[in-house]
């Protein structure tokens, strides 16, 4: 029976050694997992910071696009070019002038000056044509 008690004691010591090893391995694994968790948290914070910066930049861009697209003072340069060419090709067409006045948002004073200039050019052109016809 004392041999049985000694055998049980030896088995208990071996079991205790195995449990201690297992505990040490678990502690090492916990330390490694805590390090990974800390690294992952730092990475998540960096991603959140980058995300906030990107959201801010996107919001600024959206604001600029809204401002640009809603700005009533902007006129497509190509349209103005086409109207000017059409105006010159049609020998100062009043229709084109009126369209340009509307598109460019002329004030009443600017509109009056342009139309007076247009009328003066028409009179001078007719006078020149009449002069060429009579004396030419």
Whole-structure pTM value: 0.42
Task: State residue 118's pLDDT score.
Answer: 78
Question: Is-contact 121 92, C-beta < 8 A?
Answer: yes
In tens, the pLDDT along 26-49 reads 999 999 999 999 999 999 999 999
Task: State residue 116's pLDDT score.
Answer: 85
- For residue 25, what pLDDT band results from cuts at 50, 70 and 90? very high
Task: State residue 76's pLDDT score.
Answer: 77
Distance CA 112, CA 115 (A): 5
Distance CA 28, CA 39 (A): 17
């Amino acid at each position: 029976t004392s041999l049985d008690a000694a055998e049980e004691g030896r088995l208990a010591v071996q079991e205790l050694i195995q449990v201690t090893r297992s505990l040490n391995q678990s502690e090492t694994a916990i330390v490694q997992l805590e390090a990974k968790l800390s690294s992952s948290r730092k990475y998540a914070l960096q991603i959140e910071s980058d995300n906030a910066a990107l959201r801010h930049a996107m919001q600024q861009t959206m604001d600029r696009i809204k401002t640009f697209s809603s700005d009533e003072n902007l006129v497509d340069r190509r349209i103005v070019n086409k109207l000017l060419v059409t105006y010159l090709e049609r020998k100062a067409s009043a229709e084109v002038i009126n369209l340009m006045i509307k598109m460019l948002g002329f004030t009443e004073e600017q509109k009056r000056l342009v139309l007076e200039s247009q009328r003066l050019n028409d009179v001078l052109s007719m006078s020149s044509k009449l002069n060429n016809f009579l004396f030419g």
